[in-house]
């Protein structure tokens, strides 16, 4: 026995540094237990505080870690707790807390998921006031996955994180209360395509392991200079890995799932995906490309250039003809993914990388808040059958509820990158980084597509304020306290980041200074 014990070193786990993630996962476990052992009527009043408090606690722990200035790979080098990780954790946690306030509205989720849509069983579940409180632990698992994904310093951990993040989301996508078939279809599509892309990711991991003999990101980086003559393995592996990651951020030509899934999912889940998942996936993408493949940038930069251009163009052009507000926002998200990619390819010296990274981080926060806010507004504009998705229903909204329409206009202007909104500084930071990284042509495409994008944002504003209201237009739901808080917070963040961006810019800059630990 003793010889065996000596042969296997007990892994060292830095509990303090991983504490934010551990708290979220722990709370998710407790949530599952709550589902199992507490009576139905008590569950929500336990789950909601548990979820919010655990994430608040995790945020506090993240801040604590940030103040401590911890920067190294924890858990035997499997998880990197560094500046970017901490910043991303903080952003994801804040956005997730805000999204949970939206999710807390029972109204969005199915009464009984197992009941066939339109069946008597469903009617009974609705009249009994059934609700799936499992959504809270599911959200916690997803958030935990989102935190681990960008922090993973090892391709296998990253894959596990990817699945931990995605599986709950697949499920959550199918839980919309209304238009359930659409929702289930979205969940199905997301699952199938997600699984497909995961396979690419895993295949890429395997090939890279074959090349480098390790799945550790820093080991892969080192192997680039030592291993020779295995370029096919390397290129195939890196490209496959890239496919998996680009799928998650929704870059073209892997963007097809985004509009369908965004449209079908319950809107609060869409908000969580569009903000949290995007941030997490960008974090992971940066870590893989900048850490593991950092010395290979001559090879992947041209490829990502093409992807960025294609993504911006596809997102901006397709958004123009969308008639559904959520689909339009989905395409807008694709376009924004493209804008962010311009800074991903703008690598260079260390200072340049820090510059680009801080721009991306700021952009992600700014975009995340505006997105959650915009989807929160979408939940409030209702038709008898659910949310008023079709754009024509939004005509004249500005005349009937000027405040709501005004706030929505603010978010749209932020998406368009108009000064005095957060979007302006985000776009500026990213494009400036891209220019100083030598990607001028990319920025030109970015600016042109931004102009195209401005068209469809402003078109909605024109529709809301300068068209006559439809005679039997949608009703504006009286927002619950949670929804009102979300809209207010998001609007405040959008304005504050647009007028006094400096503190957050500084924070992003500090976080980016250390770049990624190797």
Partner 1 sequence: METAAEIVQHSGGVIGVSWLTIVLPLLGAAILLLGGRRTDRWGHLLGVAMSLASFVVAVLVFVELLGFGPDQRRRVVELYDFLPGGTIDVKMGLLLDPLSISFALLITGVGSLIHIYSIGYMAHDPNRRRFFAYLNLFIAAMLLLVLADNYLGLYVGWEGVGLASYLLIGFWQHKPSAAAAAKKAFIVNRVGDMGLALGIFVIFTTFGTVAFGPVMSGVPQASQGTLTLIGLALLLGACGKSAQLPLQSWLLDAMEGPTPVSALIHAATMVTAGVYLVVRSGPIYVGAPTAALVVTIVGVATLLAGAIIGTAKDDIKKALAGSTMSQIGYMMLAAGLGPVGYAFAIAHLIAHGFFKASMFLGAGSVMHAMNDEVDMRKFGGLASKMKITWITFGLGYLAIIGFPLLSGYWTKDGIIETAMEHNPILGWLAVIGAGITGFYMSRLFFMTFHGKPRWEKDVHPHESPAVMTWPLIILSIGSVFGGGFLIAGNRFMEFLAPAVGRPEEMPSFHPFSVTGLATLALVAVGVAYAWMRYGRAEVPAVAPRGSFLTVFARRDLYGDAINEALFMRPGQWLTRLAVYFDNRGVDGLVNGLAALIGGTSGRLRRVQTGFVRSYALSIFFGAALLVGAWFVVGNL
- With beta carbons less than 8 A apart as the criterion, state whether 217 and 291 touch: yes
∠ Cα 136 140 144 (to 5°): 170
Please choose, out of 3-11, 292-300, 335-343, 413-421, the segment that lies near partner 1 by the rule CB under 8 A.
292-300
Question: 14 vs 299, which CB is nearer to partner 1?
Answer: 299
Dihedral angle computed from the Cα positions of residues 232, 238, 239 and 245, in that order, rounded to the nearest 10 degrees: 170
Confirm or reject binding of residue 257 to partner 1 (CB under 8 A): yes
242 belongs to the binding site for partner 1 (CB under 8 A): yes
Q: Least Å distance between CB 73 and partner 1?
A: 28
- Which has the closest alpha carbon to 241: 278, 274, 287? 287
Closer by beta carbon to partner 1, 48 or else 256: 256
- Residue 286 has phi, psi (to 5 degrees) of -65, -40
Closer Cβ to partner 1, 99 or 255, answer by number: 255
Quick one: 314 or 445, whose CB is closer to partner 1? Answer: 314
Which among 97-105, 166-174, 257-265, 484-492 is the span making contact with partner 1, rule CB under 8 A? Answer: 257-265
Q: Which is nearer to partner 1, 142 or 316 (CB)?
A: 316
Contact map string, positions 424 to 463, toward partner 1, x by CB under 8 A: ----------------------------x--x--------
> What's the rounded Cα separation, in Å, for the pair 437 and 434?
5
Q: Which secondary structure element, helix H or strand E, spans residue 357, and what is its range?
A: helix 350-380
In three-state secondary structure terms, 475 is strand
Instruction: Map the footprint of partner 1 across residues 309-338, applying CB under 8 A.
Output: 314, 317-321
Site for partner 1 in 187-206 (CB under 8 A): 188-189, 192-193, 196-197, 200
Output 25 or 300, the one with its CB closest to partner 1. Answer: 300
Closest distance to partner 1 from the beta carbon of 204 (Å) = 10
Q: Is 227 in the site for partner 1 (CB under 8 A)?
A: no
Q: Which is nearer to partner 1, 362 or 457 (CB)?
A: 457
- Out of 141, 247, 282, 408, name the contact with partner 1 by CB under 8 A: 247
Tell me how far, at minimum, the Cβ of 296 lies from partner 1, in Å. Answer: 8
Q: Interface mask (CB under 8 A) for partner 1, residues 158-187, using x and -?
A: ------------------------------
Interface pick for partner 1 out of 59, 159, 290, 300 (rule CB under 8 A): 300
| Phi-psi group of 395: left, alpha or beta (phi > 0 → left; psi -120 to 50 → alpha; rest → beta) | beta
d(CA 509, CA 362): 9
Binding to partner 1 by residue 224, rule CB under 8 A?
Answer: no
Tell me which stretch binds partner 1 (CB under 8 A): 69-77, 110-118, 251-259, 265-273. Answer: 251-259
Helix (H) or strand (E) segment spanning residue 491: helix 481-499
Torsion of CA 476, 477, 478, 480, to 10 degrees: -140
- d(CA 16, CA 30) in angstroms, rounded, equals 20
For residues 269 and 165, what is the distance between their CA atoms, to the nearest angstrom?
13
Q: Which long-range contacts (CB under 8 A, 24 or more apart) does 166-172 make?
A: 166/142, 166/194, 166/198, 167/141, 168/138, 168/139, 168/141, 168/142, 169/142, 169/269, 169/272, 169/273, 169/277, 170/194, 171/138, 172/135, 172/138, 172/139, 172/142, 172/265, 172/266, 172/269, 172/272
Question: Smallest Cα–Cα separation from 100: which of 44, 29, 62?
Answer: 44
Check residue 306 for interaction with partner 1 (CB under 8 A).
yes
Q: How far is the CB of 81 from partner 1 (least distance, A)?
A: 31
Q: Which residues bind partner 1 (CB under 8 A)?
A: 188-189, 192-193, 196-197, 200, 231-232, 235-236, 238-240, 242-243, 246-247, 252-254, 256-257, 259-260, 298-300, 302-303, 306-307, 314, 317-321, 452, 455
């Amino acid at each position: 026995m003793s010889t065996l014990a000596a042969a296997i070193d007990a892994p060292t786990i830095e509990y303090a540094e991983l504490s934010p993630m551990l708290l979220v996962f722990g709370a998710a476990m407790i949530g599952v237990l709550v589902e199992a052992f507490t009576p139905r009527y008590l569950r929500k009043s336990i789950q909601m505080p548990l979820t919010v408090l655990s994430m608040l606690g995790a945020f506090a722990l993240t801040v604590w870690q940030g103040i401590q200035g911890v920067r190294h790979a924890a858990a035997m080098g499997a998880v990197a707790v560094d500046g970017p990780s901490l910043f991303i954790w903080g952003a994801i946690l804040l956005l997730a807390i805000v999204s949970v306030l939206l999710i807390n509205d029972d109204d969005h989720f199915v009464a009984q998921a197992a009941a066939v849509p339109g069946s008597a069983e469903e009617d009974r579940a609705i009249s009994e006031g059934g609700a799936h409180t499992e959504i809270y632990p599911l959200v916690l698992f997803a958030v935990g996955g989102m935190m681990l994904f960008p922090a993973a310093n090892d391709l296998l951990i990253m894959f596990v994180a990817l699945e931990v993040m995605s599986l709950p989301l697949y499920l959550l996508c199918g839980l919309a209360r209304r238009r359930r078939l659409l929702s289930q279809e979205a969940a199905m599509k997301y699952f199938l395509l997600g699984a497909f892309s995961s396979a690419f990711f895993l295949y890429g991991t395997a090939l890279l392991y074959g090349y480098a003999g390790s799945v550790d990101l820093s080991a892969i980086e080192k192997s680039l200079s030592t291993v020779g003559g295995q370029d096919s393995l390397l290129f195939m592996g890196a490209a496959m890995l890239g496919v998996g990651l680009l799928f998650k951020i929704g870059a073209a030509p892997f963007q097809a799932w985004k509009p369908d899934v965004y449209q079908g999912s319950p809107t609060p889940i869409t908000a969580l995906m569009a903000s949290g998942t995007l941030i997490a996936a960008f974090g992971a993408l940066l870590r893989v490309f900048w850490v593991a493949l950092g010395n290979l940038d001559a090879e992947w930069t041209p490829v990502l250039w093409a992807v960025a251009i294609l993504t911006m163009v596809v997102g901006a052009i397709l958004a123009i003809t969308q008639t559904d507000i959520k689909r339009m926002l989905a395409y807008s998200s694709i376009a924004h993914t493209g804008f962010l990619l311009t800074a991903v390819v703008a690598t260079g010296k260390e200072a340049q990388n820090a510059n680009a990274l801080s721009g991306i981080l700021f952009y992600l926060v700014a975009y995340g808040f505006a997105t959650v806010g915009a989807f929160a507004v979408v939940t409030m504009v209702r038709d008898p059958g659910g949310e008023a998705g079709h754009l024509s229903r939004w005509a004249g909204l500005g005349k009937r509820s000027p405040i709501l329409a005004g706030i929505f206009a603010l978010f749209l202007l932020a998406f368009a990158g108009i000064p005095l909104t957060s979007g302006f500084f985000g776009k500026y930071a990213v494009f400036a980084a891209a220019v100083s990284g030598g990607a001028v042509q990319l920025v030109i495409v970015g600016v042109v597509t931004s102009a195209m994008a401005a068209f469809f944002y402003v078109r909605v504003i024109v529709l809301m304020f300068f068209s006559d209201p439809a005679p039997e237009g949608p009703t504006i739901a009286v927002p619950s306290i949670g929804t009102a808080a979300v809209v207010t917070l998001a609007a405040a963040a959008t304005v504050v980041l647009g007028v006094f961006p400096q503190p957050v810019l500084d924070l992003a800059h500090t976080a980016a200074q250390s770049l990624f630990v190797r």
